[in-house]
Amino acid sequence: MSTMPASTRIEGRAAALRIENLDTDQIMPKQFLRGIDKSGLKDGLLYDLRFDAQGRARSDFVLNRPEHAGASILVGGSNFGCGSSREHAVWGLLQFGIRAVVAPSFAEIFHSNAMNNRLLLVALPQDQIDALMNDADGPDANAVTIDIAAQTLRSRSVQARFELRPRHRRMFLEGLDSIGLSLTHQAQIAAFAQAHWQRQPWLKDVAATCRAAAPVALSRAQSISAPLSSKNG
């Protein structure tokens, strides 16, 4: 079973990204997708926002400011993660140290990729997001606590409740990825398969049976065609 450390609470410094429709090409630009593994993606996270054309860090960008160093919670605008379906955007956020993103809404595919990789997404109403962003801007008020078990979020000015799908909540609390969650139903899956094969036994291992029968069928076809070829010759 695929398991990871369980998470019941996320606590950390928040940073506000006041950008609506932040797409995955901005989160992880295409030039960082050339590798065949997940390594090094934190270097590409929000690259064009973090650095100028000469590769120098932009001092006015929120994640480059000293008071937001080590931020683990992003507070973003609506439709966060729209654009292409690249999962690298999620991997880059996690590698950078981001454990949760809070926004009014998320793009559907990004939401699925994030939760399956255990990057927590929390959707809150716009007024609470505005208050949370204001808290995040203050170096003495940007601490946020997210209780996954209770499904609550707390900052200096915000006390909110959010909703998680039961399966996503369970994945965080029990340290499961999507494969591990599926394998918790292994007994039911096996029982279903056994009943299915009992009802329709000719379907069991049909691919392996066909592969085994193929050489015999080919040999018979060749033996039949050989005399015909001889007569035609």
Q: If you average pLDDT over residues 38-57, what whole number do you get?
A: 95
pLDDT in tens, 175-204: 888 888 778 888 888 889 888 888 988 778
The per-residue pLDDT of the chain, averaged, comes to: 89
What are the residue ranges of helices labelled H in the chain?
A: 24-27, 47-50, 88-96, 108-116, 126-137, 166-174, 178-183, 186-199, 206-232
- For residue 231, is pLDDT > 70? no
pLDDT of residue 206: 74
- For residue 211, is pLDDT > 90? no
With contact defined as beta carbons under 8 Å apart, do 100 and 147 qualify?
no
pLDDT in tens, 120-169: 999 999 999 999 999 999 988 899 999 999 999 999 999 999 999 999 99
Q: Name the nearest CA neighbour of 81 among 109, 102, 53.
A: 109
Sign of torsion, CA 108 126 62 65?
negative
pLDDT in tens, 71-88: 999 999 999 999 999 999
**CATH T-level fold of 9-177:** Aconitase; domain 4 (3.20.19)
Q: How far is CA 83 from CA 20, 44, 86, 87, 155, in A?
A: 12, 17, 9, 11, 30
Confidence at 221, pLDDT banded by 50, 70, 90: low
Helix and strand numbers, DSSP H then E, in the chain: 9, 7
The whole-model pTM stands at 0.80
- What are the structural domain ranges in the chain? 9-177, 186-232
With contact defined as beta carbons under 8 Å apart, do 92 and 33 qualify?
no
pLDDT in tens, 3-14: 566 779 999 999
With contact defined as beta carbons under 8 Å apart, do 146 and 153 qualify?
yes
- Please return the burial class of 188, using the count of CB atoms within 10 Å of its CB with bins 0-12, 13-18 and 19+: exposed
Q: If you average pLDDT over residues 107-118, what whole number do you get?
A: 95
